Amino acid sequence: MRTLGTVIKDARIQKGLTLSALERLTKIKQGFILAIEKEDWRELPNLAVVSGFVKSIASHLDLNPVHAVALLKRDYPPAKIAVNPKPDVGREFAWSPRLTFLVGISVVILAVLGYLTAQYWSFTRPPRLEIEMPQEGETIIDGTTRVAGKTKKDVTVTVNNQPVLVNEDGSFEAEIELSDITQEISVVARSLSGKEIQIIRKIVVESEQ
């Protein structure tokens, strides 16, 4: 019984073609052509690619491409199918007391870490500070003005270097004396960690006529 490799080799020799000449005609590397003739399937691509090679070679050698591919499918070794000797058996998910404990511990740990991170971030950043009065560019007539604002209750506040009492809700208010040369009001809020924020309001001080 003639095999595909024998049929192709005999037809190539009969037509007087070398492997190099057949490579130029088919654009198929002569290494692949030689592997087909020797039926060395390990040196060749998969069956679909080799089928294309065989059709092209058969056409240039005046062979029947359909018959050639049929011989290929007969001679080409079957693909090896890997068989798992111990196939995985799907297990039905079951919620267990152990899993409940692990999930509970994980939730507690994440909550604690989140709380500590939030506290650290809150402790190390400058405090919040809002100034309600005076407004930027406000004109002060009698040399005395009311300074009011809001921050956090555990923050130290100074207005033009004068300490101001901070209420439980974080609000503060103070009356300060201004001279004719005063051009701004500086409000500084300092947290327990030493972080501070400063807001400066430009003002105009005029003597009452």
Q: Is the pTM of this model over 0.75?
A: no
Determine contact, residues 183/203, Cβ cutoff 8 Å.
yes
pLDDT tens digits for 24-72? 988 999 889 898 989 888 888 888 888 889 899 988 899 898 988 888 8
The alpha carbon dihedral of 110, 114, 120, 121 has a sign of: positive
Residues whose CB is less than 8 angstroms from the CB of residue 128 and which lie 6 or more positions away in sequence, other chains included: 150, 151, 152, 189, 197
153 touches 191 (CB < 8 A) = no
Strands 138-140 and 196-205, bridge-based pairing: parallel
**Distance between CA atoms of 127 and 184, rounded to whole angstroms?**
21
Q: Which residues neighbour 11 within 8 Å (Cβ) at sequence distance 6 or greater?
A: 61, 62, 63
- Closest-CA residue to 129 (of 108, 109, 158, 161): 158
The 10s digit of each residue's pLDDT in 9-19 is 998 899 899 98
Q: List domains and CATH numbers for the chain.
A: 4-75 (1.10.260.40), 130-205 (2.60.40.10)
